[in-house]
Structure 1
Amino acid sequence: MVVDLLKKGKLRNCMAICDVSGSMTGTPMEVSVALGVLVSELSDDPWKGKLITFSESPQLQNVEGDDLFSKTEFVRTMPGGMNTDFQKVFDLILQVAVEGNLKPEQMIKRLFVFSDMEFDQASANPWETDYQAIVRKYTEKGYSVTEEVSVVPEIVFWNLRDSRATPVAGNKRVWRL
C-alpha cells in the first residue's frame, strides 16, 4: 500500500499531528498512530519520517524504528498532552523551513490533525484569528501569502472520536473537517 501511494504522490509534503493523549483510547488511538506513520512515510524530505506531537508544547519527532511495529510503538509512546497549541506547531514548521532555506514548493502542503479535537486558543491577540496569526508568521519569515499563492498548508482536522467538537468553521478555504 505504501509503495502504491508513494507512486501516486498524493501525500507528498504532508505532515501529521498525532494525538496519543489519555483520551485517545481504543480505536481512536490506533487510527491516529496508523495514519500518522503512513503520512510520515509518504512525505518528501525534509518532512519524511517526521510528525508533530499533540501537545501544548508540540515537538517535531523523527519516527524511530526499522519496521512497522516499532514505528507504531514509538508513536504510541511519544510525549503528548491533552491539547495542542497551533501557533507553536507553525513555529516548528517555519523553523525547519527557515533553517533549511526551503523553497515554497518544499513547504508542507497539507497538515493532518488526528485527534478527538481538544485545541488551545492559538492567538494571544483577541482581534487576530488563528489563520491570520499563521499568515502573519509565514509573511514575517519571508513566505508570500496571497489569495492566488499561499504556502500556508491546508489543515485537515480528522475527528477520531464520536464528538461534535470542531476547532474552526467548516466553510474556511484552508480548513477541512
Structure 2
Amino acid sequence: MEQKKLTELSLDELWQLFPITLTAHQECWADWYKEEAELLKERVPSIERISHIGSTAIKGIWAKPIIDILVEIPREEKLVNLKSTIEKCGYICMAENDSRIDFNKGYTLQGFAERVFHLHLCYEGDNDELYFRDYLQTNVAIAKEYERLKLGLWKQYEHDRNMYTFQKGDFIKQYTQKGKQLFAGRYDNK
C-alpha cells in the first residue's frame, strides 16, 4: 500500500501524528531561531522584519517545542510571490489568505523532526504577536500565568490544536492589548 503524503492526511490524522506536547524552556531554541532566521534572510528577498515569537521566545515557561517565526514583508510585495521560495527552504504551506501565509517545517510522516518551525508570512505592521511576546518577556508573573493556562489545556486538547488555540484566545487578546499600550509605536513602520 502506498504511503500518504502529509498534505493528504486528514486533520484528525495530522492531530494524532502531531499531538500538542509541552516541555520546559530549552536554551537551544534561541539558537535554532537564529540559524533559521539567517537561512531565511539569505534566501527570501524583501524581508522587512523577522522575529522569534510564541512561547519558545519567552524564557522560563513551558512551550510546544516549535519555533514560531514572524516574517513581515513590505505592503507593496505580494505574499504569494514568496511562497515557492519559502517552500524551497523546506517549508510546507499549511494555510493562506490575502493577508497571511502559514508554513510548517519539521513535520514528517514519522512525526516531528528534531527541529520544528512555524513560519507566519505577513505584511509589515501585522505583528500583534510581537506585543504579546514583549509583554510576557517583561512580566514574569503574567508569563507564568500563561504557562499555567497552557499546562491546564494540554492533555484535554492534546489532539485538537484548534480548541487548544481557541481556549488561549481571550488571554492572548488581553495581554496583546496591554503590550500595545505599554510599547506603543515600538514596531511602527519606518
The TM-score range, normalised by the shorter chain, is under 0.3
Instruction: Give the strand-richer structure, 1 or 2.
Output: 2
Instruction: Give the helix-richer structure, 1 or 2.
Output: 2
> TM-score, normalised to structure 1's length?
0.27
